Amino acid sequence: MYLQDKVLVVSGVGPDLGRQIAVRGAAAGADVVLAARTVSRLEEVAAEIKELGRRALVVPTDMTIETDAQRLADAAVAEFGKVDALVHNALVMPPIRALARVDLDAVQAGFNDNVISALRMTRLFIPALEQTKGAVVVVNSMVIRFSQLGMGPYKIVKSGLLAMASSLATELGPNGIRVNSVAPGHIWGESLKWYFGYLAHKRGVDPEEIYQETAKNIDLGRLPEPDEVADAVLFLASPLSRAITGQCLDVNCGEYHHH
């Protein structure tokens, strides 16, 4: 119960990683504030948390809208009286296009919708996190470790989030607030399963063949599951990592090494 009686705010509660962060956080003893645009999904996850004997607060939120972000911060403190950790898992996917041809307004929107919105949200929670000597965890991506055709706009967004987290760690450290990032590799959840199925259909092969092709060059010979990435996020959100800040933890089963 390494998060016993902590209050965890999770933005971007989707069907895979966001849900696992919230539910596994509750299983470790936390009460959870759930933020995303899809109300039905929030209510499903809230029900799971309540079954574990913990409290859940549903706050429908579009992270790109300033008034929504303010409402989330206010609601979390009003309901629980404190916040111990903030997890940024929300993502507005930027275009997958070459930087030489992509619409620049779309690149600008991707940066604003992800980096600026995460910075705004973190700033709103600083007063509460100062009170608890709390933590911020930013979900990043292994795209920061390599360059791939078409992924430039996405890499710009994730690199911006990494720089933001690193700078905030330096700024907020004197106030006792820790800021870290997690960079997952391929996460074997519903989205990737669908994508591998799509690739398999195009090639006329079994989806397992796509999986094995992807996994063959990974040290552990497999792709990380959503719960495994969630555990790394929760470690950085918890007192177990109380001397760790300004770091980015890669969770990719050894697909890429970062030294």
pLDDT band at 190 (very low <50, low <70, confident <90, very high): confident
Asked whether 6 and 30 are in contact (CB, 8 A), the reply is: yes
Which of 188, 221, 226, 232 has its CA nearest to residue 207? Answer: 188
**CA-CA distance, 212 to 221, in Å (whole number)?**
8
Asked whether 86 and 69 are in contact (CB, 8 A), the reply is: no
| pLDDT per position as a tens digit, 58-97 | 999 999 999 999 999 999 999 999 999 999 999 999 999 9
Per-residue pLDDT averaged across 136-146, rounded? 96
Which of 11, 90, 5, 119 has its CA nearest to residue 58? Answer: 11
**CA-CA distance, 205 to 239, in Å (whole number)?**
46
The C-alpha torsion from 57 through 63 and 69 to 73, rounded to 10°, is: 40
Is 90 exceeded by the pLDDT of residue 105?
yes
Instruction: Name the β-bridge partners of 135.
Output: 85, 178
pLDDT on residue 258: 86
pLDDT band at 245 (very low <50, low <70, confident <90, very high): very high
pLDDT on residue 191: 86
Per-residue pLDDT averaged across 147-173, rounded? 97
Q: Which backbone phi and psi does 88 adopt, to 5 degrees?
A: -95, 100
Residue spans in the chain of domains classed CATH 3.40.50.720 = 7-186+226-251
**CA-CA distance, 250 to 253, in Å (whole number)?**
9
Which of 218, 215, 214 has its CA nearest to residue 256? Answer: 218
Between 3.50.50.60, 3.40.50.720, 3.10.150.10, 3.60.15.10, what CATH number should domain 7-186+226-251 receive?
A: 3.40.50.720
**CA-CA distance, 19 to 40, in Å (whole number)?**
13
pLDDT band at 15 (very low <50, low <70, confident <90, very high): confident
Per-residue pLDDT averaged across 123-142, rounded? 98
Question: With 0-12 CB in 10 A as exposed, 13-18 as middle and 19+ as buried, what is 60?
Answer: middle
